[in-house]
Structure 1
Amino acid sequence: MIWREYRDYSYLRGRAPSILYCAAVQGSQHLAELMLSAGADVNAQSGYFGNALQAALYTEHSSIARLLIENGADVNAQGGRYGNALQAASYRGDEGTIQLLLSKGATVDEQGGCYQTGLQAAAAAGHEGVVQLLLQKGANVNTKGGKYGSALQAAS
């Protein structure tokens, strides 16, 4: 297989998403495991979503997201459409994975990306449970920025 020939995936950087990123988007647990065992960079910046963890979260492949986190994915890495993993998971309403991200050190008010914060992403998508969870964890309702300007505007 081609993946065995290349341990350095940097040749893809800037040109195409990494194979690990593609496995995350497609939900291929087996390929993700193979790439990680072959030494793929779990934190490589790549593709529309920024990295494999954000891609897995946005495409609702939580088992792959958990695998990536177990293999050292940076839960606060910045980049891509949703800015960070917490924002991607919040937009999708994945409360279990949000709890995992927070337990692994994700910053509740980490800013960046389309919605600026996870709270704004959850509010925009109408995920009341996620909004409540993030507020309980100390999310700032007054943070400004992003597509809607604030969590209140995102919710309306």
Structure 2
Amino acid sequence: DGRTPLSLAAGEGYGATMQLLLERGGTNVNSRDNNDRTPLSFAAEIANEATAQLLLEREGVEVNSKDKDGRTPLSWAAGKANIATIQLLLKREDIEVDSKDYNGQ
């Protein structure tokens, strides 16, 4: 499915593993799987505020990245009613709150 170790750790909420991978260097915080999902989109989906925060602290993280369906990390968080993650994302000045997916939602 094209997921990287960082993406897998983010999707499971394994913050300590993510921290190790990020500190090691050379880890692409914006890596994409076969569905164009990033580690941040997986962290946003599972409602783990700490893992989302780890990624949001990284320089160059793409907060508005779109997957193959046009969904952003904010869309994934909102779809699961992950309030804490939504609040983290909304603190970003570069967040696009009106971004729509490819179905117009």
TM range (shorter): 0.7 to 0.9
Q: Name the amino acid aligned to 1:112.
A: D
Aligned pairs for 1:61-76 within 5 A? 61-72=48-59, 73-76=61-64
User: Counterparts of 1:48 and 1:71 in 2: how far apart (Å)?
Assistant: 22
User: Counterparts of 1:75 and 1:94 in 2: how far apart (Å)?
Assistant: 16
The verdict on how the C-alpha distance between 1:69 and 1:112 changes in structure 2, with shifts beyond 3 A counting, is: same
Does structure 1 conserve the Cα–Cα contact (< 8 Å) formed by 2:2 and 2:32? no
- Per-residue CA deviations over 1:59-99 (Å, capped at 9, x if unaligned) read 22221011100113211111155610110110111222212
Q: Name the amino acid aligned to 2:62.
A: D
5+ residue gaps, structure 2, are none
Are 2:11 and 1:19 equivalent residues in the alignment? Answer: no
Are 2:89 and 1:97 equivalent residues in the alignment? Answer: no
Secondary structure class of the residue paired with 1:108: coil
The higher radius of gyration belongs to: 1
Does structure 2 conserve the Cα–Cα contact (< 8 Å) formed by 1:43 and 1:52? yes
Q: Name the amino acid aligned to 1:75.
A: V
User: Counterparts of 1:46 and 1:99 in 2: how far apart (Å)?
Assistant: 25
* RMSD, aligned CA: 2.0
* Aligned structure 1 segments of 4 or more residues deviating by more than 2 angstroms: none
TM-score with structure 2 length normalisation?
Answer: 0.83
The verdict on how the C-alpha distance between 1:46 and 1:110 changes in structure 2, with shifts beyond 3 A counting, is: same
**Which structure has the highest helix share of the two?**
1
**Offset of residue 48 of structure 1:** 4.7
Of the candidates 93, 96, 105, which is equivalent to residue 107 of structure 1? 96
**Offset of residue 49 of structure 1:** 6.8
User: Counterparts of 2:42 and 2:83 in 1: how far apart (Å)?
Assistant: 17
Does structure 2 conserve the Cα–Cα contact (< 8 Å) formed by 1:49 and 1:82? no
Are 2:26 and 1:37 equivalent residues in the alignment? Answer: no
Q: RCO (CA 8 Å, sep 6+): is it higher in 1 or 2?
A: 2
Does structure 2 conserve the Cα–Cα contact (< 8 Å) formed by 1:21 and 1:47? no
TM-score with structure 1 length normalisation?
Answer: 0.58
- Report how many aligned residue pairs link the two structures: 102
